[in-house]
Amino acid sequence: MDYAELGRLAEDARKYSYCAYSGFSVGAALLTKDGRVYQGCNIENASYPAGICAERTAFVKALSEGERDFSAIAIAGGPEGGRPSDAWPCGICRQFMNEFVEGDSFDVVVIHEDLSFTVCKLGELLPHSFGPEHLN
Protein backbone atom coordinates (compact mmCIF):
# COMPACT_ATOMS: atom_id res chain seq x y z
CA MET A 1 0.00 0.00 0.00
CA ASP A 2 1.69 3.22 -1.07
CA TYR A 3 0.83 6.60 0.40
CA ALA A 4 -0.87 7.84 -2.77
CA GLU A 5 -3.36 4.98 -2.42
CA LEU A 6 -3.69 5.52 1.33
CA GLY A 7 -4.45 9.17 0.57
CA ARG A 8 -7.17 8.20 -1.89
CA LEU A 9 -8.72 6.03 0.82
CA ALA A 10 -8.63 8.98 3.23
CA GLU A 11 -10.31 11.17 0.64
CA ASP A 12 -12.88 8.43 0.03
CA ALA A 13 -13.65 8.27 3.77
CA ARG A 14 -14.83 11.90 3.73
CA LYS A 15 -18.05 10.80 2.06
CA TYR A 16 -19.51 9.53 5.35
CA SER A 17 -18.49 12.58 7.39
CA TYR A 18 -21.23 14.07 9.56
CA CYS A 19 -20.15 17.70 9.76
CA ALA A 20 -23.47 19.45 10.22
CA TYR A 21 -21.94 22.28 12.28
CA SER A 22 -18.55 23.02 10.75
CA GLY A 23 -19.21 22.04 7.14
CA PHE A 24 -15.64 20.67 7.18
CA SER A 25 -15.42 17.01 6.24
CA VAL A 26 -12.39 14.95 7.16
CA GLY A 27 -11.44 11.41 6.22
CA ALA A 28 -8.62 9.27 7.53
CA ALA A 29 -7.09 5.98 6.44
CA LEU A 30 -5.02 4.15 9.05
CA LEU A 31 -2.51 1.57 7.81
CA THR A 32 -1.50 -1.34 10.05
CA LYS A 33 1.96 -2.89 9.87
CA ASP A 34 0.50 -5.96 8.22
CA GLY A 35 -1.21 -3.94 5.52
CA ARG A 36 -4.80 -3.59 6.69
CA VAL A 37 -6.52 -0.22 6.36
CA TYR A 38 -9.16 1.26 8.68
CA GLN A 39 -11.04 4.29 7.40
CA GLY A 40 -12.70 6.91 9.57
CA CYS A 41 -14.41 10.28 9.30
CA ASN A 42 -15.37 13.11 11.62
CA ILE A 43 -18.72 12.77 13.34
CA GLU A 44 -20.06 15.98 14.90
CA ASN A 45 -22.74 16.47 17.52
CA ALA A 46 -25.20 19.18 18.59
CA SER A 47 -23.27 19.18 21.86
CA TYR A 48 -20.11 20.27 20.04
CA PRO A 49 -17.41 18.69 22.27
CA ALA A 50 -19.09 15.31 21.87
CA GLY A 51 -17.95 15.17 18.25
CA ILE A 52 -14.99 13.05 17.18
CA CYS A 53 -12.28 13.63 14.59
CA ALA A 54 -11.61 11.34 11.63
CA GLU A 55 -8.25 10.19 12.98
CA ARG A 56 -9.67 9.03 16.29
CA THR A 57 -12.58 7.34 14.55
CA ALA A 58 -10.13 5.32 12.47
CA PHE A 59 -7.97 4.46 15.49
CA VAL A 60 -10.92 3.45 17.64
CA LYS A 61 -12.27 1.23 14.89
CA ALA A 62 -8.91 -0.52 14.56
CA LEU A 63 -8.11 -0.74 18.28
CA SER A 64 -11.54 -2.14 19.07
CA GLU A 65 -10.92 -4.94 16.60
CA GLY A 66 -7.64 -5.89 18.24
CA GLU A 67 -5.14 -4.00 16.07
CA ARG A 68 -2.14 -2.62 17.93
CA ASP A 69 0.61 -2.17 15.32
CA PHE A 70 0.29 0.83 13.05
CA SER A 71 2.58 2.30 10.43
CA ALA A 72 0.85 5.39 9.01
CA ILE A 73 -2.29 7.47 8.79
CA ALA A 74 -3.41 9.59 5.84
CA ILE A 75 -5.73 12.54 6.45
CA ALA A 76 -7.83 14.44 3.91
CA GLY A 77 -10.03 17.30 5.05
CA GLY A 78 -11.66 20.37 3.59
CA PRO A 79 -14.97 22.11 3.01
CA GLU A 80 -17.75 19.58 2.58
CA GLY A 81 -18.09 18.62 -1.06
CA GLY A 82 -14.82 20.40 -1.93
CA ARG A 83 -11.20 19.52 -2.38
CA PRO A 84 -8.92 18.69 0.53
CA SER A 85 -7.02 21.59 2.06
CA ASP A 86 -4.17 20.43 4.29
CA ALA A 87 -6.00 19.17 7.38
CA TRP A 88 -3.23 18.59 9.89
CA PRO A 89 -4.24 16.53 12.92
CA CYS A 90 -5.50 18.50 15.91
CA GLY A 91 -3.73 18.43 19.25
CA ILE A 92 -6.11 15.94 20.80
CA CYS A 93 -5.59 13.53 17.90
CA ARG A 94 -1.80 13.91 18.11
CA GLN A 95 -1.93 12.98 21.78
CA PHE A 96 -4.39 10.15 21.17
CA MET A 97 -2.22 8.61 18.44
CA ASN A 98 0.93 9.01 20.54
CA GLU A 99 -0.48 6.48 23.02
CA PHE A 100 -0.37 3.68 20.45
CA VAL A 101 2.57 4.38 18.12
CA GLU A 102 6.25 5.23 18.19
CA GLY A 103 6.59 8.90 17.35
CA ASP A 104 9.84 8.42 15.44
CA SER A 105 8.47 5.77 13.09
CA PHE A 106 4.75 6.45 12.62
CA ASP A 107 4.04 8.49 9.46
CA VAL A 108 1.37 11.17 9.22
CA VAL A 109 0.40 11.77 5.58
CA VAL A 110 -1.47 15.02 4.95
CA ILE A 111 -3.30 15.29 1.66
CA HIS A 112 -3.12 18.49 -0.37
CA GLU A 113 -5.67 19.96 -2.76
CA ASP A 114 -4.23 18.18 -5.81
CA LEU A 115 -4.00 14.89 -3.85
CA SER A 116 -0.25 15.22 -3.51
CA PHE A 117 0.84 14.82 0.09
CA THR A 118 3.33 15.69 2.79
CA VAL A 119 4.70 12.99 5.09
CA CYS A 120 6.12 13.59 8.54
CA LYS A 121 6.64 11.62 11.70
CA LEU A 122 4.19 11.97 14.55
CA GLY A 123 7.15 12.87 16.75
CA GLU A 124 7.72 15.98 14.63
CA LEU A 125 4.14 17.04 15.26
CA LEU A 126 4.22 16.23 18.98
CA PRO A 127 7.77 16.72 20.28
CA HIS A 128 8.58 16.11 23.96
CA SER A 129 5.36 14.16 24.27
CA PHE A 130 3.82 12.78 27.41
CA GLY A 131 2.98 9.11 27.02
CA PRO A 132 2.43 5.82 28.78
CA GLU A 133 6.16 5.44 29.48
CA HIS A 134 5.92 8.33 31.96
CA LEU A 135 3.47 6.45 34.13
CA ASN A 136 5.47 3.24 34.48
Part of the chain binding ligand THU (CB under 6 A), chosen from 3-11, 46-54, 96-104, 111-119: 46-54
- Does the annotation mark 55 as catalytic? yes
Q: Which residues, in sequence order, are CB contacts of 89 under 8 Å at separation 6+?
A: 53, 55, 73, 75, 97, 108, 125
- The single residue of 5, 11, 44, 55 carrying the catalytic annotation is 55
Scored b (16 or more CB within 10 A) or e, 80-93 reads eeeebeebebeeeb
In the complex, the smallest distance separating the C-beta of residue 131 from ligand THU, rounded to whole angstroms, is 19
In the complex, the smallest distance separating the C-beta of residue 101 from ligand THU, rounded to whole angstroms, is 16
95 within 8 A of 126, measured Cβ to Cβ? yes
11 binds ligand THU (CB under 6 A): no
- The catalytic residues are 55
Give the residues lining the site for ligand THU (CB under 6 A).
19, 22, 24, 26, 42, 44, 51, 53-55, 77, 87, 89-90, 93
